[in-house]
Chain A
């Protein structure tokens, strides 16, 4: 089932067997077959280090943070705030208070759309997104535009699933208030030229929000180098727990934004006459947060940094190339999203067969893929398809698993014809 590959001998050796052993779920069976998990784009599996950290939190450390003088509360506050620092360092944010813990990418985007929209968007203004956005980076802006009578502008993509940069340049206007764009497409795998996009927007004094949900698991992100104004991602897609995410915002922007949700934890003093709010980031973190989520996320980031992104990227790229080559020769199979610059995500359709049917047969073989529109219905409309089958690969996948996928597809084709 597995093959051993040593990519870098200077750092820790990238031993796929050792890595797979870190992920307990990968040894389970599904429908009597060894699980082949090719749905990391939906949610990634968790290494035992993360699982252990969560167990330790509940069995040894549980207390509320920022609340009490007792020992447990003080200890866990320190651990939680250290987790924030881990995130800061991981994405190279300038300040730790630029890291806001949220429930996930979706909440991070909603937070910005709501607060930025309240203060900076008026009737006739424009918000620029792209045709390849996840619904979570469409709907908050669409709703804002409806509320404010603003206009949602959409940068089209070409048949390879790449942004048409000339159209992007044309659509940037004096009315554009913010650009919201994905770093990596969850459906097509396309990695957008985000640095260039930010620099073009900044030349027009327009801030940029980046949906980084699909890039954070695959590449080292440096928010200062990108010069992103806002960068959002989810813990569960980067091998951490569900229900925790991050909103990075440049200090000057976060200070300008009005409150989002308010309540416990967001204040300095409260009276019925006047409330004085806390400073960032706590001003944006109402209520008791997902404490184990924040801690688990930091452990997950430590885990992948220990493997090293140079190893991860090289290995995933090799997997992507291998899968693309093997799938391309399957008769009637068409890959949707053929950009040269791709993350390890492969969406495909098969002539005259509904993606759902393929998904059901693959499931019987223990192979987990995603089928459907992947929360990107505009992309499906663009390509005129009901949905795709998507195999999204992580560094714990192997070439053997890709071979099994190809065999499974061949079997499905035989049954469904």
Chain B
């Protein structure tokens, strides 16, 4: 007999798995660092959340730790995304197919901030 919690767990893990696959697909398809960051940095966040919720259904004892991990992920994943983007721009990579670049006009490339 299939438990109700296992059904919810499978649904959540499938949800997370779908978004992880889409994120990596974006990583493969996108043309440059910045657009790839959009794909992996965001879609993987939701993928991770799906896996977290799924694991919480399969292992109810660790739900508190998983909540802590979710809070940590929501706080830190955008920060590392920004750090990579800033490193890429500081490294001199210009965005591909950009129709407008305010940063190149408004500021010289000295690493002050």
Q: A and B bound?
A: no
Chain B positions within 8 Å of A, measured between CB atoms, are none
